[in-house]
C-alpha cells in the first residue's frame, strides 16, 4: 500500500524572529480529511507553525509544502489563489473594524469571485445562520459584538468560500465554557457538512477530546536541550491523556509541577 | 562587571557606529523593497472603486479644512513679518511678490505635505499598525488578498494624486490671506499689490511647487504604510509607528525639498539658459533692495 501524500507538510522547518528562535527542525504532516490538534504552552510556536503551513510566514530554514510542492516555489499570485482553498479562524477573530459583519463575511467572496451582489448576500446569510447567529447581526460593526459572536462571525467568514482546509487558532480562548462548547460543536459540524481537513491550535483539553483525530504537542525551545525534538508527542487524544511523558501529562491535566519550584526560586 | 563577550564594551564607538549604519541601510533597503512592491501591484491590479474612494475622501476631502486654515494663516503671517522691512524701503506694494513666490514655490507644497504627514500619515500608520497587531493584515492574506495591493496601493494613490490639489488649495488660500491682510489691514493698494504679485510668479514656479508635492505625497504614503506594516505589538508599538511615520516623513519632505529644489533650478537653467530662470526675477527684487539701501 502506498502512503498517501500529505496535503500539508513541514520539513525540518525552523523559524526565528530576530535573535529569538521559536521553531527548530520541526517535521509535521497533515493528511487530507483529518483533524489535527496542536497543543503546547504559550510561546512554543503553535500559531507560527500554522502560519508557516499557509505561507503567512516563511521558515528561516526548511520547507513548508502544500500538496507536495514547496510554498516558496509559488509566486505571490499563485499563493493568493491557493489561499482561497483555506479558511483561517484567527485567535482574536481578526475582523475588519471598519467593515460591517456582512462586509466582513462578503470580503473573501468579493475578493475572489465575480458573484452578483444578490448571490453574495444569500451566501453570507447562509453562513451567518450556519454559525448560529441571526441575520440581523449582519448590519452591526465588529466593535458591537461579544467575544463569542466575533469568533462565530470569524468562522462564518472563514467558511465563506467553502474551504478544503480549515485552520483554527485558539478557537475557544477567552470564551466562557458554554460558548467554547458551541465553537467545538461548530468545528465538528463543519467537518460533517463538507469534507474538510482541519488544524486546530488550542490549550483547551475539551477541544482536544471533542475534535481531535490526531494530537501533536510542541514544547518551548527554551526548555529543550540542543538535540531534543520540539514535537514531544504525536498520537490520538486518548494516548495524550494516557501518556507516560510527564511533560505531556502535566499539560493535559493542567498541573504546574516543577514550574512552581522555579517560581519559588525566582 | 563588563563581560568579555559583551560586544559593546569590546568594540565601543566603532561597534555603535557600525550598528547604526547597518540599521539605517537595513531600513532604507526595506523601504525600497516595500516601494517596489507598491509599484508592482499598482501596475498589476488597480484598486477597486469601493476601496479607492474612501481613501480619496479620507486623504483629500477631510484634509481640506486644515490645509485651508494653515494656508490662510501662513499668507497673513508672511504679510505681517515682511511688511516692516518692505515699508522701510518704500516697497510695500511689492509685498505680494514675496508672499506669492514664497507660497507657490516653497511654503504651499511643504505646508500641505506637513499637514498631510500629520493628519493622514500618522493616522495611516496607526490604522495599519492596529491591523497588523490584531492580525487583520494576516487575515487579508489568508483570504487571498494581497495586503499591499488592498491596503497600501489605494492610500498611496490617494496621497500621490491629491497632494498637488491640496497644494493648490494651500497656495490659493495663502495668497488670498496675504492679500487680505495687505489690502484691508496694512492698507496697501490692491491694484499695485496684484500687479507685482503676478509679475514675479511664473508658470514654472507653479509647476515646481506641484512637481515637488507629488514626491512629498508619495514619500508620506510609503513611509506611513511601511511603519504601519512593521508595527510592533501593543499600544506602545502603534503609538511609536504613528510618531515615526510623521517624523520620518517630515525629514524626508525636507530632504526631498532641498534635492528637488536644486534639481528644478538646474533644469530651468538648462531649458531657458537665456532667461537664467525665475531666479533672475527674484534677483531683480534683491537688486532693487540693494540699490535702495546703498
Of the candidate ranges A37-51, B27-41, B146-160, B261-275, the one whose mean pLDDT is the lowest = B261-275
Say what the pLDDT of residue A130 is. 86
* Chain A residues in contact with B50 (beta carbon < 8 A): 110
Q: Specify whether the CB–CB gap between B252 and B178 falls below 8 A.
A: no
* Chain A residues in contact with B146 (beta carbon < 8 A): 76, 80
Distance of CA B251 to the CA centre of its chain: 9
Rounded distance, CA B170 to CA B213, Å? 12
DSSP-assigned letter for residue B119 = I
A232 phi, psi to nearest 5 deg: -95, -10
Say what the pLDDT of residue B155 is. 95
Q: Specify whether the CB–CB gap between A241 and A233 falls below 8 A.
A: no
Residue B65: pLDDT over 90: yes
- Starting at the edge strand that comes first in sequence, how are the strands of the sheet with A61-66 ordered? A20-30, A8-17, A61-66, A69-70
Neighbours of B147 (CB within 10 A): 21
Any B CB within 8 A of A17 CB: no
For residues B280 and B137, which has the higher predicted lDDT (pLDDT)?
B137
* Chain B residues in contact with A161 (beta carbon < 8 A): 143
Sequence-distant (6+) residues with CB within 8 A of B30 are: B226, B230
CB contact under 8 A, A80 and B136: no
Exposed / middle / buried, residue A60 (Cβ in 10 Å: 0-12, 13-18, 19+) = middle
DSSP-assigned letter for residue B253 = H
Any A CB within 8 A of B23 CB: no
For residues B33 and A226, which has the higher predicted lDDT (pLDDT)?
B33
Say what the pLDDT of residue B52 is. 92
The 3-state DSSP class for residue B294 equals coil
Sequence-distant (6+) residues with CB within 8 A of B190 are: B179, B183
Say what the pLDDT of residue A57 is. 93
CB contact under 8 A, B142 and A111: no
CB contact under 8 A, A112 and B139: no
Any B CB within 8 A of A111 CB: yes
Q: Specify whether the CB–CB gap between B156 and B225 falls below 8 A.
A: yes
The residue behind cell 502603534 is: B238
Encode pLDDT of B159-206 as tens digits: 999 999 999 999 999 999 999 999 999 888 888 888 888 888 888 999
Say what the pLDDT of residue A167 is. 94
Chain B: residue whose CA lies nearest to A76: B146
Q: Residue A245: which region, alpha, beta or left (left: phi > 0; alpha: psi -120 to 50)?
A: beta
Residue B46: CA atoms inside 13 Å, Cβ hemisphere, count?
A: 5
- Starting at the edge strand that comes first in sequence, how are the strands of the sheet with A231-235 ordered? A86-89, A165-169, A197-201, A35-40, A214-218, A231-235
Residue B279: pLDDT over 60: no
CB contact under 8 A, B144 and A76: no
A:187-216 residues touching chain B, CB 8 A cutoff:
none
Chain B: residue whose CA lies nearest to A89: B139
Interface probe for B, chosen from A20, A43, A48, A80 (most Cβ of B below 10 Å), is A80
Any B CB within 8 A of A86 CB: yes
Interface probe for B, chosen from A17, A57, A76 (most Cβ of B below 10 Å), is A76
Split at pLDDT 50, 70, 90, the class of B32 is very high
* Chain B residues in contact with A76 (beta carbon < 8 A): 146
B50, B135, B143 member nearest A92 (Cβ): B135
Residue B3: pLDDT over 60: no
So what's the ipTM on this one? 0.88
Low-confidence stretches of chain A (pLDDT beneath 50): 1-2
Residue B280: pLDDT over 50: no
Say what the pLDDT of residue B281 is. 46
The mean pLDDT of B112-138, rounded to a whole number, is: 93
Residue B277: pLDDT over 50: no
DSSP labels, B137-202: HHHHHHTT--HIIIIIHHHHHHHHHHHHHHHHHHHHHHHHHHHHIIIIIS---HHHHHHHHHHT--
The mean pLDDT of B106-123, rounded to a whole number, is: 93
Q: What is the 3-state secondary structure (H, E, C) of chain A?
A: CCCCCCCEEEEEEEEEECCEEEEEEEEEEECCCCEEEEEECCCCCHHHHHHHHHCCCCCCEEEEEECCEEHHHCCHHHHHHHHHHEEEECCCCCCCCCCCHHHHHHHHHHHHCCCCHHHHHHHHHHHHHHCCCCHHHHHCCHHHCCHHHHHHHHHHHHHCCCCCEEEEECCCCCCCHHHHHHHHHHHHHHHHHCCCEEEEECCCHHHHHHHCCEEEEECCHHHCCCCCCCEEEEECHHHHHCCCCHHHHHHHHCCCCHHHHHHHHC
Encode pLDDT of A188-217 as tens digits: 988 888 889 999 999 889 999 999 999 999
Exposed / middle / buried, residue A244 (Cβ in 10 Å: 0-12, 13-18, 19+) = exposed
Any A CB within 8 A of B139 CB: yes
DSSP-assigned letter for residue B93 = G
The residue behind cell 510592533 is: B232
Antiparallel, parallel or unpaired: β A86-89 and A165-169: parallel
Any A CB within 8 A of B43 CB: no
Q: Which three cell numbers stand for residue A154?
A: 470569524
Sequence-distant (6+) residues with CB within 8 A of B287 are: none
* Chain B residues in contact with A80 (beta carbon < 8 A): 141, 144-146
B138, B139, B144 member nearest A81 (Cβ): B144
Amino acid at each position: 500500500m502506498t502512503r498517501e501524500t500529505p496535503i500539508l507538510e513541514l520539513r525540518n522547518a525552523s523559524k526565528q524572529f530576530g535573535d529569538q528562535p521559536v521553531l527548530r527542525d520541526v517535521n509535521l504532516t497533515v493528511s487530507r480529511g483529518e483533524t489535527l490538534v496542536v497543543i503546547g504552552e504559550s510561546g512554543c510556536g503553535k500559531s507560527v507553525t500554522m502560519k508557516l503551513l499557509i505561507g503567512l510566514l516563511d521558515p528561516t530554514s526548511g520547507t513548508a509544502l502544500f500538496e507536495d510542492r514547496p510554498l516558496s516555489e509559488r509566486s505571490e499570485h499563485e499563493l493568493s489563489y491557493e489561499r482561497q482553498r483555506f479558511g483561517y479562524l484567527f485567535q482574536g477573530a481578526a475582523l475588519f473594524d471598519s467593515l460591517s459583519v456582512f462586509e466582513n463575511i462578503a470580503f473573501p467572496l468579493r475578493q475572489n469571485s465575480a458573484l452578483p451582489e444578490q448571490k453574495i448576500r444569500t451566501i453570507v446569510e447562509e453562513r451567518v445562520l450556519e454559525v448560529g447567529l441571526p441575520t440581523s447581526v449582519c448590519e452591526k460593526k465588529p466593535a458591537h459584538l461579544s467575544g463569542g459572536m466575533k469568533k462565530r462571525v470569524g468562522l462564518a467568514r472563514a467558511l465563506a468560500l467553502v474551504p478544503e482546509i480549515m485552520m483554527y487558532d485558539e478557537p475557544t480562548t477567552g470564551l466562557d465554557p458554554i460558548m467554547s462548547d458551541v465553537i467545538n460543536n461548530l468545528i465538528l459540524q463543519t467537518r460533517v457538512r463538507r469534507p474538510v481537513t482541519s488544524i486546530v491550535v488550542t490549550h483547551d483539553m475539551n477541544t482536544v477530546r471533542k475534535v481531535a483525530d490526531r494530537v501533536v504537542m510542541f514544547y518551548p525551545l527554551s526548555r529543550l536541550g540542543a538535540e531534543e525534538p520540539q514535537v514531544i508527542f504525536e498520537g490520538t487524544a486518548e494516548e495524550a491523556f494516557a501518556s507516560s511523558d510527564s511533560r505531556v501529562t502535566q499539560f493535559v491535566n493542567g498541573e504546574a509541577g516543577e514550574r512552581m519550584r522555579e517560581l519559588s526560586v525566582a | 562587571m563588563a563581560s568579555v563577550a559583551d560586544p559593546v564594551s569590546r568594540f565601543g564607538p566603532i561597534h555603535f557606529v557600525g550598528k547604526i549604519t547597518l540599521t539605517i541601510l537595513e531600513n532604507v533597503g526595506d523601504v525600497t523593497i516595500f516601494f517596489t512592491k507598491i509599484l508592482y501591484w499598482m501596475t498589476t491590479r488597480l484598486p477597486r472603486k469601493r476601496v479607492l474612494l474612501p481613501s480619496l475622501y479620507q486623504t483629500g476631502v477631510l484634509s481640506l479644512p486644515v490645509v485651508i486654515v494653515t494656508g490662510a494663516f501662513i499668507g497673513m503671517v508672511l504679510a505681517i513679518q515682511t511688511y516692516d522691512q518692505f515699508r522701510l524701503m518704500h516697497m510695500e506694494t511689492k509685498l505680494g511678490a514675496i508672499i506669492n513666490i514664497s507660497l507657490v514655490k516653497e511654503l504651499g507644497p511643504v505646508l500641505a505635505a506637513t499637514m498631510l504627514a500629520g493628519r493622514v500619515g500618522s493616522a495611516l500608520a496607526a490604522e495599519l499598525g492596529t491591523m497588523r497587531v490584531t492580525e487583520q493584515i494576516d487575515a487579508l492574506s489568508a483570504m487571498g488578498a494581497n495586503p499591499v495591493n488592498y491596503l497600501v496601493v489605494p492610500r498611496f494613490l490617494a496621497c500621490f494624486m491629491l497632494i498637488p490639489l491640496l497644494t493648490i488649495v494651500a497656495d490659493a488660500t495663502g495668497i488670498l490671506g496675504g492679500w487680505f491682510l495687505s489690502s484691508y489691514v496694512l492698507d496697501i493698494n490692491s491694484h499695485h499689490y496684484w500687479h507685482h504679485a503676478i509679475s514675479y510668479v511664473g508658470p514654472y514656479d507653479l509647476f515646481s511647487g506641484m512637481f515637488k508635492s507629488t514626491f512629498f505625497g508619495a514619500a508620506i504614503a510609503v513611509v506611513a504604510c511601511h511603519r504601519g506594516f512593521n508595527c510592533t505589538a501593543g499600544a506602545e508599538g502603534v503609538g511609536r509607528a504613528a510618531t515615526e511615520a510623521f517624523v520620518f516623513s517630515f525629514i524626508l519632505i525636507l530632504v526631498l525639498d532641498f534635492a528637488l529644489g536644486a534639481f528644478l533650478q538646474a533644469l530651468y537653467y538648462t531649458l531657458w539658459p537665456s532667461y537664467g530662470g525665475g531666479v533672475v526675477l527674484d534677483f531683480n527684487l534683491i537688486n532693487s533692495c540693494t540699490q535702495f539701501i546703498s
